Chains A and B, each alone.
Chain A
Amino acid sequence: MNFAVPNFLPALPEIFLLVSICGVLVVDLFLTDEQRWLTYVLAQFALLLTALAVVFGFSGETVTTFGGMFIGDPLSVLLKVVILLFSTVIFLYSFHYLRAGGQLRGEFFTLALFGILGMMIMVSAHNLLLFYVGLETFSLCLYTLVAYNRDAPKGAEAAVKYFFLGALSSGLLLYGFSLLYGTTGTLSIPEMAAVLTAAGADGSVNPATLFGVVFVVIAIAFKLGLVPFHMWVPDLYEGAPTPVTLYLSTVGKLAALGMAVRLLVDGLGPLFVHWQELLVVLAVLSIALGNLVAIVQTNIKRLLAYSTISHMGFFLLGLLTGTPDGYSAALYYMVVYALTGIAGFGVILLLSRKGFEAERIDDYKGLGRRQPWYAFLMMLVMLSLAGVPPLVGFWAKYSVLMSVISIDMIWLALYALVFSVVGAFYYLRVIKVMFFEESPMVQPVSATADMHWTLTLNALALLGFGLIPGGLLDFCRSVWG
Chain B
Amino acid sequence: MTNEAMFFYLFSAVLVSSATMVVVARNSVRAVLFLVLCFVSASGLWILLQAEFLAIVLVLVYVGAVMVMFLFVVMMLDVDQAQLKAGFARHLPLGLLVAAVMVVEMLLVLQPENFGLVTAENVGSGLTSNTKAIGRMLYTDYFYPFEIAAVVLLVGIVAAISLTLRKRPDSRYIDPSEQVGVKASDRLRMVDMESDNR
Q: Is the CB of B152 within 8 A of A129?
A: no
A20-35 contacts to B, CB under 8 A, are 25
Contacts of A3 in B (CB 8 A): 140-141
Q: Is the CB of A70 within 8 A of B155?
A: no
Q: Is the CB of B141 within 8 A of A133?
A: no
B130-151 contacts to A, CB under 8 A, are 136, 140-145, 148-149, 151
How many contacts between A and B, using CB within 8 angstroms? 79
B108 in the interface (beta carbon within 8 A): yes
| A137 partner, pick from B109, B151, B162, B163, beta carbons under 8 A | B151
| B114 and chain A: residue at smallest CB distance | A208
Contacts of B115 in A (CB 8 A): 182-183, 208
With A and B bound together, what is the CA distance between A110 and B108 in angstroms? 47
How far in angstroms is the closest Cβ of chain B from A318? Answer: 30
With A and B bound together, what is the CA distance between A127 and B105 in angstroms? 28
Q: Is the CB of B151 within 8 A of A183?
A: no
Q: Is the CB of A111 within 8 A of B155?
A: yes
With A and B bound together, what is the CA distance between A316 and B152 in angstroms? 30
| B159 partner, pick from A70, A111, A127, beta carbons under 8 A | A111
Q: Is the CB of B159 within 8 A of A144?
A: yes
Q: Is the CB of A67 within 8 A of B141?
A: yes
A412 in the interface (beta carbon within 8 A): no
Q: Is the CB of A130 within 8 A of B158?
A: no
> Quick one: given A3-B140, A114-B155, A114-B158, are A133 and B114 in contact (CB under 8 Å)?
no
Contacts of A66 in B (CB 8 A): 143-144
How far in angstroms is the closest Cβ of chain A from B8? Answer: 19
A298 in the interface (beta carbon within 8 A): no
Contacts of B109 in A (CB 8 A): 207-208, 211
With A and B bound together, what is the CA distance between A140 and B166 in angstroms? 20
With A and B bound together, what is the CA distance between A211 and B111 in angstroms? 12
Contacts of A69 in B (CB 8 A): 144-145
Q: List 9 A-B contacts (CB under 8 A).
A: A1-B140, A6-B143, A6-B144, A66-B144, A127-B145, A134-B148, A137-B155, A206-B114, A211-B110
A141 in the interface (beta carbon within 8 A): yes
Q: Is the CB of A133 within 8 A of B152?
A: yes
How far in angstroms is the closest Cβ of chain A from B142? Answer: 7
How far in angstroms is the closest Cβ of chain A from B133? Answer: 10
Q: Is the CB of A11 within 8 A of B114?
A: no
Contacts of A67 in B (CB 8 A): 141
| A148 and chain B: residue at smallest CB distance | B162
How far in angstroms is the closest Cβ of chain A from B23? Answer: 16
Q: Is the CB of A133 within 8 A of B158?
A: no
Q: Is the CB of A144 within 8 A of B162?
A: yes
Q: Is the CB of B114 within 8 A of A183?
A: yes
Q: A66-B144, A110-B158 are in contact. List 14 more A-B contacts (CB 8 A).
A: A6-B144, A107-B162, A121-B148, A127-B145, A129-B142, A133-B149, A137-B151, A137-B152, A141-B155, A144-B159, A144-B162, A208-B110, A208-B114, A211-B110
| B145 partner, pick from A129, A143, A185, beta carbons under 8 A | A129
A147 in the interface (beta carbon within 8 A): yes
> Quick one: given A111-B158, A140-B156, A208-B114, are A11 and B144 in contact (CB under 8 Å)?
yes
| A111 partner, pick from B108, B144, B162, B166, beta carbons under 8 A | B162
**Residue-by-residue, is A126-165 near B (CB-CB < 8 Å gives 1, otherwise 0)?**
0101100110110011011001101000000000000000
With A and B bound together, what is the CA distance between A141 and B155 in angstroms? 7
| B143 and chain A: residue at smallest CB distance | A66
Contacts of A140 in B (CB 8 A): 152, 155-156, 159
